[in-house]
A and B are shown apart, each in its own frame.
Chain A
Amino acid sequence: MAKTIMIVDDSASIRQVVGIALKSAGYDVIEACDGVDALSKLTGQKIHLIITDVNMPNMDGITFVTEAKKLPQYKFTPMMMLTTEASTDKKMAGKAAGAKAWLTKPFQPPTLMAAVSKLVLP
């Protein structure tokens, strides 16, 4: 059974790049375009990792992580941030919300995949 990873980003091109990188490595991918959309797609299925942008309309990434962690089935799902932001305050906010990693854009696929394989649930 392939593992499932969710990617949340308002930019379609980012979702495509990440999607292809994940699918070539054998993962199933769920896409969402912002925090609200992502929460609506968390319907109880097992998700092994969530990758999310920070700056998105309707609900930003850090709020989304906080909200998702409140859902019982996703309390222990590892979450990583993928964003243009690099300021220490934002990183601390991410850490406080429960994110396990922070990767800045633009990224190289090998770096992303290394982080994914380290964090994804067994």
Chain B
Amino acid sequence: MKTSQPISSSLFYTLPALLGLFSGLIACLQTGFNIISIIATIASSLLGLLIGYILFSKYVNHITTINKSWQNDENTKLDDVNAYATELERLFIEVTPILIRQVTTSREHTEQEITTLTGRFAAMVTQLEQLLSGTGNSNQSSSIDDLFDGSRDSLTGVLTALNQIQEMEHQVIEAVRNLSTHTANLDTMAQEVRKVAEQINLLALNAAIEAARAGENGRGFAVVADEVRKLAGFSSETGERISSTVNEINSAMTSTLKMSEQSSSSDDETIQVAEEAINTTLESLKSALTVFKDDADLLRNNSENIRDEIFSVLTAFQFQDRVSQMLEHVEENLASLQSTVDDTRQKGNERHADMINVSQTLSTMELSYTMPEELLNHSSNTSGGQPIQATESEEDLTFF
């Protein structure tokens, strides 16, 4: 406004002055340039100047008033903006620590709970490992097989012993039967002895008769013939005694044979029944043990599956590590934002736009990241995108 004043001020002064001068000059011309008209001309010029001055002052006052009210408006606006900026800072300083604390608490709480949870799962896996290695598959099933084989062998042994006894009984019976053949032979021989004795007796009689016919010369011979007859009689008696003894033996053997045969056949039956009973028992035992083994195998498989499942769950909990890291970065970035704003406040009441460096803040944040999702989320801010879904990131193994 000041720059336009020189032009206006000269205008304000020169116009009325010229008017006064002009009217004075007209008067001068009219009156032929006499003293009064010249004085009047000078007076009207001065009057013109005075009027110009008054008008100009009024004009300047007016302009000044306008300027002042405009300046007041501007100051009010500036104060408003300053007040807003101060309040915004204060809001930020108040709210950021709260946010940081909330994030920290939830992160720490999650870490704690997941550590406890994974501890419990780890204990379960360890327990199952111990269970599975203790009741080793081959140990259990072979001990069951051994048990069955042992039982079967014992029972079979009993049967074998019984059968052997039975065999011996049969052999005894056979032997006894064989004896009767021998005794039959004995009897025959005894009969023959008696026959021979009879023949000898007859011969001796004949000899005695011939001896008597021979008279005195046959007396010696008759004595011999007598002795021979006595001997024959003796043999015959012996033969009879042998026969009767053999008969006694035979009848004893017959009754023994009868008893043995009876007891043997009833023993056969008993052993048969026992064998059947033993076989039935072994069958039942075998099927019971098979069921037991199958159940044990099923249980073992289930335990292995459960252990593997729990271990997978445990492995899946690795996500917590990533989440914790991301949250820690959020906490750090909020804290550094807070200190940036705080520093600006400390420097006094002046505020300039260049006190805050947005691109530097963004760069610092980028440096704090350790994971690809963080970087993707960071850049999608500029393209206005959705937050990145936590992807099943490919594991990456590099050897150096």
Contacts and interface: CB of A to CB of B under 8 A. Distances in A.
Interface residues of B, number: 31
Interface in B113-130: 114-115, 118-119, 122, 125-126, 129
A102 B322 contact: no
B394 to A, nearest CB: 8
A101 B322 CA distance: 20
Interface string A57-97: 00000000000000000000000000111100001001100
B332 to A, nearest CB: 12
Interface stretch (B44-52, B153-161, B245-253, B312-320): B312-320
Nearest to A19: B122
A95 B122 CA distance: 32
A13 B319 CA distance: 10
Interface string B99-138: 0000000000001001100110010011001000000000
B370 A55 contact: yes
B395 A13 contact: no
Given A24-B129, A85-B371, A86-B372, A17 B318 contact: yes
Contacts, number: 95
Contacts of B381: none
A102 B398 CA distance: 5
Interface of A: 11-14, 16-17, 19-21, 23-24, 54-55, 83-86, 91, 94-95, 99-109, 111, 115, 118
Contact of A104 (B118, B119, B317, B396): B396
Given A55-B370, A84-B371, A101 B400 contact: yes
Given A20-B125, A85-B371, A105-B321, 9 more contacts: A13-B114, A14-B321, A17-B317, A86-B372, A101-B400, A106-B316, A107-B395, A108-B315, A111-B395
7 contacts: A11-B324, A14-B318, A23-B126, A84-B325, A105-B395, A106-B319, A106-B321
B269 to A, nearest CB: 61
A62 B61 CA distance: 76
B371 A100 contact: no
A94 B331 CA distance: 27
A21 B122 CA distance: 10
A63 B120 CA distance: 33
B118 A86 contact: no
Given A13-B321, A86-B372, A103-B395, A109 B118 contact: no
Given A11-B324, A105-B318, A109-B315, A99 B400 contact: yes
Contact of A13 (B115, B325, B400): B115
B318 A106 contact: yes
A92 B395 CA distance: 18
Contacts of B319: 106
A104 B315 contact: no
A83 to B, nearest CB: 8
Contact of A107 (B318, B320, B325): B318
B320 A17 contact: no
Contacts of A91: 398
Given A12-B115, A84-B325, A95 B400 contact: yes
A111 B126 CA distance: 21
Given A84-B371, A111-B395, A105 B322 contact: yes
Contacts of B372: 86
B395 A100 contact: no
B221 interface: no
A99 B397 CA distance: 13
A100 B318 CA distance: 23
Interface in B287-332: 311, 314-322, 324-325
Contacts of A23: 126
Interface string B359-400: 000000000001110000000000000000000010111111
A100 B393 CA distance: 22
Contact of B314 (A17, A95, A107): A17
Nearest to B394: A104
Contacts of A94: 400
A28 to B, nearest CB: 14
B395 A108 contact: yes
Contacts of A83: 370
Contacts of B317: 13, 17
A54 to B, nearest CB: 8
